[in-house]
Amino acid sequence: MPKVIHIINGPNLNLLGTREPEVYGSQTLEDIEAMVRASAGDATIVFHQSNVEGELVVFIQEAGRSADAIILNPAAYTHSSVAIYDALKAVPIPAVEVHLSQPAARESFRRRSLVSEAVTGTISGFGANSYLLGLQAALKLAKGGG
């Protein structure tokens, strides 16, 4: 049976391609979505982006009811959101945290991830390919295996 993967993107990721391309690359979020969809095989991909923390929590809760796994780039909320942490802990499906850059190699405040404590694993530092690696992991972790 085909898997359903929800990909949830946090604040400022709608600015990819123009926002600090030396850090985040030149691909837009739409480019990344197309790349993931092209690599998803028969999996259904549900793609979300919001700059609002509460909307991200709603997306996670919805995924918990209808998806087999989550791929999450919480962006700046990585370092501060107890609400996202709690939402991830409340859903019965695996979640993979992804980041375009390598937070551990950046500013000191970015080196701590509250979200990492609530996900199955984290992939970071591979640019847009972090999403492809996240997709591979999510498909393997999804209910029933990949």
| 133 annotated as a binding-site residue | no
Domains of the chain by range and CATH?
A: 4-141 (3.40.50.9100)
List the structure tokens of 10. Answer: 């946090």
Q: Which pTM does this prediction carry? A: 0.89
Indicate whether 146 pLDDT > 50.
no
Q: Sheet with 44-49: list strands edge to edge.
A: 44-49, 4-9, 69-73, 95-99, 121-124
pLDDT 10s digits, 14-73: 988 876 666 656 789 999 999 999 999 999 999 999 999 999 999 999 999 999 999 999
Taking CA 125 as the corner, what is the angle to CA 51 and CA 140, rounded to the nearest 5 degrees?
85
User: Going by C-beta distance under 8 Å and a sequence separation of 6 or more, which residues neighbour residue 98?
Assistant: 71, 72, 73, 122, 123, 124, 130, 131, 133, 134
Measured CA distances, 143 to 42, 105, 140 (Å): 15, 33, 8
| 86 annotated as a binding-site residue | yes
| 12 annotated as a binding-site residue | no
Band (pLDDT 50/70/90 cuts) for residue 116 is confident
Catalytic residues: 24, 99
| 101 annotated as a binding-site residue | yes
Q: Are 50 and 59 in contact (CB under 8 A)?
A: yes
